[in-house]
Amino acid sequence: MTIQIGKKEFSDEQIQALIDQGLAFGQKNTPASVVLDTPSLHGPSSSGSGWGALSAPGVRPDMLSAMTRPQSLAQMLPLIKSEVHQEKLDIHTGVTAEGGTNATGWCGDPPGPGALKKCGINYSWGKYYAKDDLVAIADIGMKRDYADVPRNILNAASPVNAGNRFIPDMVFTLDDTFSDLRYQEWLVGVAAERDICHVTIQGDTSLASTATQHGWIAEPAGLQTLIATGYSDRITGTLCPVIDPIVKSFNALVTGTDANSRVLRDVMTGVMYSLDQRSNDAGMMDVQFAFVMRRELFYNLVQHLACRMFTTFCTTTLSPGLTTSAETIERLRLEMLRGRYIVLDGMAYPVILDQCIPQDTLGNGYYKSDIFIVPTTWQGMPLTYYQYFDMENPYSMEYTAKLDKPVERMNDGLWLVGNESTALCFEHHYQMAIRLVLEAPFLSARVDDVWYYFREDLHNAIPGDSSYYDGGDSYIQQHFLSY
């Protein structure tokens, strides 16, 4: 049986194929929710519950932002493209003991050398997938009234808000508050900034998608996983202790002593001496290192190190005839605090502050957290960095060029962006694949459980943190604008 449509005839099989295509297209274009959210900053909210948060009449257009952005190691690391599913690294671990017995003479059977050994490591992609709010196109650009004017966030372009390569389309400033597109991308970027900060430290590849951080189908391995003992070969499972990082448990107050009666400065100088010797033994002189810690701990640590540089607890000298002044100690503390570095055995090491390192509460204003030490570069080669899959590779571009549905890329192929729709209401979907790579785990270290007091009023950027604050409203209710 055939059916004529216009000048063409279609068989039953062709009709069914067209129906199937239509169903598939409809299913793929259906967003997760058909309930309009409240994304607009100006004009009426799409949900009808009020007006945009910046729609209040008579308000001065210039405004300041008090929102805290996360300080994170992720912002400091190189971002490098990769096209491979898993980054498989082999590290030469040594040569086995020589075999055989010594010869009894020149014509005897001499012993032979050992065999090279290596250890293989896998680094897997973390897969991030998020969306923005469902928006009705018919509402975009609508103002509440003639008093509804664009806002100017005076400090939006500060260095703290700029420079994060993970934010889609580099939207840092939110410089046009009438643009729904820029606002949506900015919101996705804020979420991604927090979510990447989290997995850079706490990422766990073993978690199911139901247990991962917001937005992650699968998390990449973070520093807590990578800077840990127990490395084993990726194929045989054989342990590779020679590439294990150094992990020490201090488990005491920053001014106290550990189970071996060592103060924190002595533990840290011992760790750095060991890392320096490891790099020299491996023929990798002049490796650059950085310390990663919470800013609350850093504030306490510089006081301890300044005191310990010359004296014991700032009261008695370490050796006869060696004295120092309170002025010298204070000057050294301020230099490290303001320069964001620490001095150990005469070497200055940069400190990267990271708000996503877990901070456990021990009491009122009493906390503990960990210190990470990462190798950053050696002879210009990055040793700790992020890789991302290039969504703008030629094969992906070739495929999507034939699609009716538009697919975009952002940030040099970091982000793949598509959309879902119902009628004329749309939402954007954002995807990326990234992983943290530690090229030389044997040149990394951790000092766990350093206790400290901190009773100042910092604002942290991660929701759920004890020092996270926001407040206010995301839209203005109707009855507040009846005047």
Residue pLDDT, tens place only, 304-314 = 898 877 654 45
Higher-pLDDT residue of 146, 382: 382
pTM: predicted TM-score of the whole model, two decimal places? 0.85
pLDDT at residue 358 is higher than 70: yes
Residue 6 pLDDT level (bands cut at 50, 70, 90)? very low
Mean pLDDT over the full length of the chain:
85
Residue 183 pLDDT level (bands cut at 50, 70, 90)? confident
Confidence (pLDDT) at 155: 76
Residue 396 pLDDT level (bands cut at 50, 70, 90)? very high
Higher-pLDDT residue of 182, 275: 275
Residue 277 pLDDT level (bands cut at 50, 70, 90)? very high
Report, as an integer, the average pLDDT of 340-349.
Answer: 94
pLDDT at residue 483 is higher than 50: no
Confidence (pLDDT) at 316: 46
pLDDT at residue 320 is higher than 70: no
pLDDT at residue 160 is higher than 60: no
Confidence (pLDDT) at 42: 86
pLDDT at residue 200 is higher than 90: yes
Confidence (pLDDT) at 65: 85
Report, as an integer, the average pLDDT of 107-133.
Answer: 93
Confidence (pLDDT) at 165: 76
Give pLDDT tens digits for 49-83. Answer: 678 888 888 889 998 888 888 888 998 899 999 99
Higher-pLDDT residue of 90, 7: 90
pLDDT at residue 142 is higher than 80: yes
Report, as an integer, the average pLDDT of 2-31.
Answer: 50
Contact 52, 41 (CB under 8 A): yes
